[in-house]
Each structure stands twice: as C-alpha cells, then as structure tokens.
Structure 1
C-alpha cells in the first residue's frame, strides 16, 4: 500500500493497519485497482458521514455517482481513483450502487435502509473479487463487512449497535467458507471485521495479526 495515499489523495485502508495488511494480500497484478476500489469507498464514506452539510454531501455524492456510471462510456475526469478504475475496466454501474448505499446515511436509516446499505456498499467486495479472478462468494462477505465497518466508523452509538447486530450473522456466514488464493485478501478483510466486532483485542495485537497470516496460508 506504499504511496497509495499520495496517489489517490486518501488512504484506501482508512487508517486501519490490519486492513492495509489484508489489502496487501491481493494479487499483485490487480493491486492498484483494488486499492482504487477501497480509496473510492473511503472517499464516499468521508462525504456521507464526514460532511456536516447534508446538501453539500448530496451534491458531491451525486457527482461521484454520475462519474461512476460514465466509466467505460467516456473519458474519465482527471481524478486518480477514476482513472485507475477506468484502466481496470471496472463495472461502473455496480460501483455506482455503492454511492446509493452511502447516500442512505444522509438521513437516519431504519433497518430496511441499513440492510440495503450493506448490500449496496458490499458491491465493493463483489467487484474486487471479479477483478482478482476469485470465484468465492463475496456477497454476504461484502454486506457483513460494510455493516461491521459502519459500526466502527459512525459516532452515532445507536446506529453503531444496529449495524453491528446486522453484520454479525453475515460475517459468521461468510467466514465459514475456505477462500481461494485469489480471494484471500477479501477473507482477510472479513477476519479484520470480525475481530473489530468482537472488540476483545486491540487493533494490531499479535493474535489478530497471526490470525491474518494463518488465513493467508490456509484460506480459513
């Protein structure tokens, strides 16, 4: 992940050292594209939950939505995330759904909206798996990770608790599979989310890092 923050203007790992480690497990050939995907997610997150003015957030999210839909249809703007994604031939329509998910958080989401958020933001994992050539089922993993990470990011304690409750069964379900070598970076991200949800050991604790190393070797 060296220089990714400089390249994209935002940290794809969102300041989470274990996530940075997990992203480093991605196949080398697609690592720049995977980093761009997560930089996109970090950008949308910053707009949706880090912008005080909801109207400003809405306008900026809409710009990203339209830019993502246009990928593959026209020359992308001179924006490094979009340029990298365009070069990787991503599915822009799938990624535009991520923006729709984040947009749901501009108002307090009910349970139905939170479930939809998980599915829409979870397209991040589906597209990452496709780019990496991983045949693993990334659907539940994406939704579970999206909700688990939201529970970590938000300062709204009620929203955090509700997101975590929805995330746990999805994370458990997705963690039961054995991940292919190409998809182990996704499985590793899922293990990071599970450890965050459990909250039993701090980020970077030896046991957590060793768990990721074991997953990289075994796929479990």
Structure 2
C-alpha cells in the first residue's frame, strides 16, 4: 500500500515519450487550456483518435488529482476520515472480491490510485497506441476510472476544503475539478448519481457552459 508521505512523488506509470502521437496530444491539452476556452479545449482535435485523446486526458487528470490529494493525505487520517464520503449522506464503499468494504478515506484513495495505475499498465486496456478500434475493456474501464476519481474530488471538497484553503490550493483544486467535470460532460462519463455530492458546486459550471442537467 502507498504510504501517505510517498504520495507527493507518485506519478502515473504510463509515460508519454516525445515524438509520439500521445506526446503531441498531451502537448495539445496543455496549449488548449492556456490559449483557448475550456469548452473547446476538451474536444478531440480534428482528425484525432478519440480513444487516444480520452486516454491521454485520463492520464493527466489522474496526475492532477493525485497531486492535490497528496497535499492533504496526511490530514486525511483514519481518525479524521474514518470513512470515504462525499457528504453527510454519501459514503463510498470499496469493492473487493465482489464484496463491498468500508474503508477509511485515505486507504480507499490509496487502493483507488493503485488500481488506476494497474489499469494504465495493462496494454489490453490502455495499449501503447490506439488503432481504429479500442480494446473491448477500454471504455468501461475508462468510465469507471473517471467516476471513481470524481469521488476523490467529492471527498476533498467535503472533508478537506479548509485544509486546501490553508495550503493555498483551493483555486488550483477548483480549476482542476472544473476542467475535469467539463471533460466528463463532453464524453458522457458521469451520471446524475455520480455528481450528486457536488451539485451546488456544479450548478454554476453548468450555467457557464450551457450544459444540460443530467437525468
């Protein structure tokens, strides 16, 4: 299991070598965010491979969430956060051996990050380069990753909002979430149930980008 102090230096194991299509897409993401509107920046480039685009963005979002959570992970102790939740009425259980298991928030997040990295390393899910047809397991796994990463944001904003503010990370966390959410909406990666813990935070984002409410 990952130790909290080691989380500061964790990165997705999936590297993006220079000179590859994946590297070019990674660069496009960064340039799009800095130069264009957020709504445009989440769209797959013209003539691009959408599965490759989804994968590269998934790597980036994972890294960003990992960095933010690592800053508060020492404060997310079993005593402070005995369950993984996104609000007073939203508890997240970990599935292990087909059984739902209640875990402290930090242990849940550590297991989640381990699982995501394992998925990234599995070429049967995330191939080194996508062809016209993605592996059968790609979209179901990618969707599950985004849904579960949303839970980390929900927990941080519910249980660690003051800590993020004290660490001067509130704006960074919000902007990261805003980008993450708009991307998810562009590709239908979240359900109404998924977003329910952060509805109040999401409402102005929906209005800003004229996004329809999820049914």
Give yes or no for TM over 0.5.
Answer: no
Relative contact order (C-alpha < 8 Å, sep 6+): which is higher?
Answer: 2
Q: TM-score, normalised by structure 2?
A: 0.30
Question: Of Structure 1 and Structure 2, which has the larger fraction of its residues in strand?
Answer: 2
Point out the structure with max Rg over C-alpha. 2
Question: Of Structure 1 and Structure 2, which has the larger fraction of its residues in helix?
Answer: 1
Q: TM-score, normalised by structure 1?
A: 0.29
